Amino acid sequence: MDIKPVTSSFSVADQVTAADLLPLKAAGYRTLICNRPDGEAEGQPAAEALAAEARAQGFDWYWIPISSGQFTDEAVATFTQALAGKEEPVLAFCRTGTRSITLWALAQARGGQQSTVELLQLAAGAGYDLSSLSPRLDADAGSIDKPE
């Protein structure tokens, strides 16, 4: 497992296994978000089994499976809700971390948390190039419902 900090309260990683849970707990992580659908690769732990073990160890757990490139508005909204008011720090994971950081950036843009430039810089600092996502980040930031 390769953890890549994005902010002081949010990191992404590749696949987490049951053996990773104790070290994650010791590192202070409180909430886990799995963005990997079951059955992507042989030997991949089933989300339900990993969720049961994570919850037994006191983690908040969310499963928001994303097939590669399928970042629906519903998935972004669900990810946003998973982040809202949860115990930090949060670790989101998938096969490589790319889907997780993409969901995070989309959620942050939609929530008006950071500008597209800031989001791209944070992603780059964690080793991810999300520059191709710029138009959607800009569009999502502009689609926030404004109070009347």
Lowest mean pLDDT among 5-9, 59-63, 82-86, 121-125: 82-86
Tell me the whole-structure pTM to 2 decimals: 0.89
Q: Given 3-state DSSP classes, what are the helix, strand and coil percentages for the chain, each rounded to the nearest 5?
A: 45, 15, 45
Residue 147 lies in a domain: no
Q: What is the pLDDT of residues 76-104, one digit of tens each?
A: 999 999 988 778 899 999 999 999 999 99
- Residue 27: domain span: 3-141
Residue 142: per-residue pLDDT: 65
Number of domains within the chain = 1
The answer to whether residue 145 scores a pLDDT higher than 50 is: no
User: Rounded mean pLDDT of 115-122?
Assistant: 92
For 5, phi and psi rounded to 5 degrees? -65, 135
Residue 146 lies in a domain: no
Residue 113 lies in a domain: yes
Residue 16 lies in a domain: yes
Place of tokens 């490589």: 96
Residue 95 corresponds to which tokens in the numbers above? 């096969």
Residue 134 lies in a domain: yes
- CA–CA dist 3, 13 (Å, integer): 5
Residue 69 lies in a domain: yes
Residue 146: per-residue pLDDT: 36
Q: What is the pLDDT of residues 6-57, one digit of tens each?
A: 999 999 999 999 999 999 999 999 999 999 998 888 888 899 999 999 999 9
| CATH number reported for the structural domain that contains residue 77 in this entry | 3.90.190.10
Residue 148 lies in a domain: no
